[in-house]
Amino acid sequence: MRSALRSLAFVTLCVLAPAARAQDLAPREVATFEPPVLAPLEPTTVLEIGGAAPLTKEEVLASVRRHHPPLEAAEARVVSAEGVRLASEGAFDLTLGTRASGVFFGYYEYGRLDVSLTQPTPLWGTTFFGGWRIGRGFARGGIPDYYRYDETLDAGELRLGAQIPLWRDGPIDARRAALWRAEHGVVAAAEDRDARLLRVSLAATEAYVRWVAAGRRYTIARDLLRLAEERDGQIAARAAAGAIPPIEHLENRRAVLERRALLVAARRALEQRAIALSLYLRDDQGRPLEVSHVRLPADVELEVVPRRSEPLDLADAVARRPELRRFAAQARAARVSMDLADNQLSPRIDLTVSGAIDLGGPGVTDPDRALEIQRTLERPQMDAMLTVQLPLQLREARGRIDQARAELAALEADTELARDQIHLEVRDARSAVQAAHEAIALASEAEVVARAVADAERVRFDHGATSLLVVNLREAAAAAAAQAHVDARADLAVAHAMLEAALGAPRAR
């Protein structure tokens, strides 16, 4: 049985082996590549950058100073502080007072009229007063003896005097303290406005620089696309003539589509930067104004800024930054409150000195009564009064002293933190300027090398020594290097703006 099976297998192998060998030796069909038929390129829409008067950074900053909501709010706070100061000055306004009274239908019939003027002053808290009064009896009983003080000669009485605080309210009182605090409040509000202006100006400068850089990046992407579009027809003709493989035409078409997509992304980035810039660029009514791409400058403008030592920059920043001046003004206001509270611990000792003189005649027909009135009122009078008040518990004054001391301690801590923050900002800005200078040097050299490589690769392609894929890669690298150079220039412009803001004012040129 086994022998029969072996024989059958041998016969089968002998029959099938030649057929299989013949099949292996038969020629196979070679797969061929049929390139798709590419339609001619449709023109793409590109933005024409420039052409109109370029928008300058000074225009943007002028717009910020003219119309910007945070700065307008800060300016309104300054006006409010000035209103508080004016109201505090009102405590020293001249005051006119009048009082009239009369007694009728009784045994005694008389009338009184008193007109007074009171003028508080900041001169050691002295208050001046003066006035005119008249008190006269009518037809019957006249003025009773126990109200003889109200009686004057028929032309009235003139008086003038002053109230002088000898201890409490002398060096400082509530009126002067309120005025001084209000004056320091105006300074603090103005410094806060200037601090906001610094921050907003820095943000506006960065928005402007990034918009210009986005325009330059769009131009580079547009030029990169034009390279591929301009040679598309040449590549198609050479491929049809058999000078180059058809895949090279496909590779160029792929590069065109890819670069068109990059151009769309660059346009979107440019529009986004223009929208961000409109927050700082406004029309005459204060509405955001989206600037057109036709006003784009050719490139980011770099200023020549002299380099100075770090200690000099730190000293300038501490002297110029409005945040520190605002804290200083607030600290002065807190010290005024503490001085006032400390003064209120003292006893009140007021000296009041006044003089009066009656004018006219007795104004009565009774000779005896007229002589009595004349003798009593015709001589000038001089009065002096000393008033003493001794506070006992002093809880209000002690509480206000504790409050003012706590406010001073908080302001000192805030000032120390602000000073440290300013030092860090100056150092960071100086570091950013240094790094940006180095980055520009490297990016500029890299752009020159990348462009030279791309040019050489195009020459090699024209001589059939390379492929279009490599050319596209070289051109993309050159475009990326050019955009990196643009970004480095933008970073340096922003770093200069950061340093100016950290110093608190434009640096001396």
Give residue 306's Cα distance to chain centre. 26
> Which of 50, 57, 508, 41 minimizes the C-alpha distance to 306?
508
Cα four-point dihedral sign 48, 49, 50, 54: positive
Please state the rounded mean pLDDT for residues 7-20.
41
Please state the rounded mean pLDDT for residues 17-23.
44
Please state the rounded mean pLDDT for residues 31-47.
73
Please state the rounded mean pLDDT for residues 461-490.
93
pTM of the model: 0.82
pLDDT per position as a tens digit, 103-119: 888 778 888 999 999 99
The pLDDT score that the predictor gives to residue 29 is 52
What confidence tier does 13 reach under pLDDT thresholds 50, 70, 90?
very low
pLDDT per position as a tens digit, 90-105: 999 999 999 999 888 8
Neighbouring CB atoms inside 10 A of 89's CB total 15
In three-state form (DSSP H/G/I as H, E/B as E, the rest C), the secondary structure along 368-432 is HHHHHHHHHHCCCEEEEEEEEECCCCCHHHHHHHHHHHHHHHHHHHHHHHHHHHHHHHHHHHHHH
What confidence tier does 414 reach under pLDDT thresholds 50, 70, 90?
very high
Highest-confidence segment of 204-208, 361-365, 400-404:
204-208
What confidence tier does 361 reach under pLDDT thresholds 50, 70, 90?
confident
Please state the rounded mean pLDDT for residues 83-94.
96
Please state the rounded mean pLDDT for residues 324-328.
96
Domain ranges for the chain: 57-503
> Which of 479, 473, 449 minimizes the C-alpha distance to 461?
473
How far is it, in rounded angstroms, from Cα 373 to Cα 380?
A: 13
What confidence tier does 168 reach under pLDDT thresholds 50, 70, 90?
very high
pLDDT per position as a tens digit, 187-213: 999 999 999 999 999 999 999 999 999
CB contact set of 361 (below 8 Å; sequence gap of 6+): 153, 154, 155, 370, 374
For strands 348-358 and 381-389, give the pairing. Answer: antiparallel
Beta bridge partners of 351: 164, 386
Please determine, for residue 20, whether its predicted confidence score (pLDDT) is greater than 70.
Answer: no
One-character DSSP codes across 33-80: --PPPPPPPPPPP------SPPP-HHHHHHHHHHS-HHHHHHHHHHHH
What confidence tier does 509 reach under pLDDT thresholds 50, 70, 90?
very low
Output phi, psi for 351, to 5 deg.
-110, 125
CB contact set of 462 (below 8 Å; sequence gap of 6+): none
The pLDDT score that the predictor gives to residue 117 is 96
Percentage of the chain beyond pLDDT 70 is 90
pLDDT per position as a tens digit, 232-250: 888 888 888 888 888 888 8
**With contact defined as beta carbons under 8 Å apart, do 219 and 49 qualify?**
yes
Please determine, for residue 370, whether its predicted confidence score (pLDDT) is greater than 80.
Answer: no
What confidence tier does 46 reach under pLDDT thresholds 50, 70, 90?
confident
CB contact set of 178 (below 8 Å; sequence gap of 6+): 88, 91
Highest-confidence segment of 17-26, 58-67, 237-246:
58-67
What confidence tier does 5 reach under pLDDT thresholds 50, 70, 90?
very low
Cα four-point dihedral sign 356, 360, 362, 363: negative
The pLDDT score that the predictor gives to residue 184 is 97
The pLDDT score that the predictor gives to residue 506 is 56
The pLDDT score that the predictor gives to residue 295 is 94
Please state the rounded mean pLDDT for residues 390-414.
91
pLDDT per position as a tens digit, 250-302: 899 999 999 999 999 999 999 999 999 999 999 988 899 999 999 999 989 88
pLDDT per position as a tens digit, 376-398: 777 888 999 999 998 888 888 89
| Long-range contacts, 402-410 (Cβ 8 Å, 24+) | 403/337, 403/341, 404/334, 404/335, 404/337, 404/338, 404/341, 405/338, 407/334, 407/337, 408/331, 408/334, 408/335, 408/338
Crossing angle of the two packed helices 174-230 and 232-240, in degrees rounded to 10: 20
Please state the rounded mean pLDDT for residues 158-173.
94
Please determine, for residue 23, whether its predicted confidence score (pLDDT) is greater than 60.
Answer: no
For the beta sheet containing 110-120, the strands, ordered from the edge strand earlier in sequence to the opposite edge, are 95-103, 110-120, 127-137, 157-165, 348-358, 381-389
Structure tokens at 98: 């009048």
What confidence tier does 140 reach under pLDDT thresholds 50, 70, 90?
low
The pLDDT score that the predictor gives to residue 37 is 66
**With contact defined as beta carbons under 8 Å apart, do 258 and 12 qualify?**
no
The pLDDT score that the predictor gives to residue 19 is 44
Percentage of the chain beyond pLDDT 90 is 66
**With contact defined as beta carbons under 8 Å apart, do 322 and 195 qualify?**
yes
CATH class of 57-503: mainly alpha
